[in-house]
Structure 1
């Protein structure tokens, strides 16, 4: 039996009405999901988004401690040269984070493409909605909510548009469960983290071109 080269999906307008059908490239939207590659992609995306903000002070950075705390001999105590010693309360920290850690990870292009195809294929089977065009004339949150309601979306959703115009940005920014991105910014983490994927027709073509 010949392998399918395309997958047929319905295309809707912004009111949620079916207007046509579209053939998706099966090599992008209907592959066998590869769990390990998707896991690796998520690890890379999360690591690369991490900032090295953790910072502790070393012995030389702690304030004070220039004076010897007590004389060398005759006190019965262990000798000490500075209050900044790591063994003293308030002293410096040994081997703590220094604020310049490099958490960057990488994944080769072939694997990253497979991870995106796998995540897109999962959404094609459950959660993908293709819209002929996603455009807003006014900057109103109400309009974007109405758009999502047309597809019964009330949980996490990723909306992929050709261009994030001022109207789209302003209309969607206050909706916590919706994230708007362009095709080149679609990530594996976002795809796996949402229940609904709404993509404009032209964005589908852009994604297919990038991943074929």
Structure 2
């Protein structure tokens, strides 16, 4: 509770006026002693009240309100990608250890395990095969669904794949290729291929060959 100076002075004055000097025990015949220094308490109170209005009370300056800090979303800044650039330039810009989503991680994993040692064009073609399957209506409708579809990719074990060194350059390249495929930044020489196999094997598929890139042959 805050008490003003004037109120405090009134309280002090009241207390002074009502105070009584303690009784002094002495000889019964001794007359009371009058001292020249005795002051009338009511006179003190009146003097204090006359001066109360003239006393300047220092006021602590109020701090100026500061503008509220606003958070900046660093992730909102998107990289400006020029799709007219060649494939190596796009890959260099988009290399990252973090695909950004589970679906892109599945797409990157397919590219990584099936073609990490292939030229960039071959990796792009493998990525487009996975994307083409997801869009075809003949396979699962998501990258992860295509990848985990039974009997389609030999590196898949149930709903998982072997460990990936995600700080390695090959994984970061696979992530970049996955982003390029997902955003359709570069067409593939394998066009609308839905299948591929290594050159060293001859499965005898009765399918139309659409391209041969690196160590893979692509079919529709």
With the shorter chain as reference, the TM-score category is under 0.3
From the two aligned structures, give the one with the greater strand fraction. Answer: 1
Q: Tell me the TM-score normalized by structure 1.
A: 0.20
Q: Tell me the TM-score normalized by structure 2.
A: 0.20
Bigger Rg, structure 1 or 2:
2
Q: Which has the higher contact order (CA 8 A, sep 6+)?
A: 1
From the two aligned structures, give the one with the greater helix fraction. Answer: 2
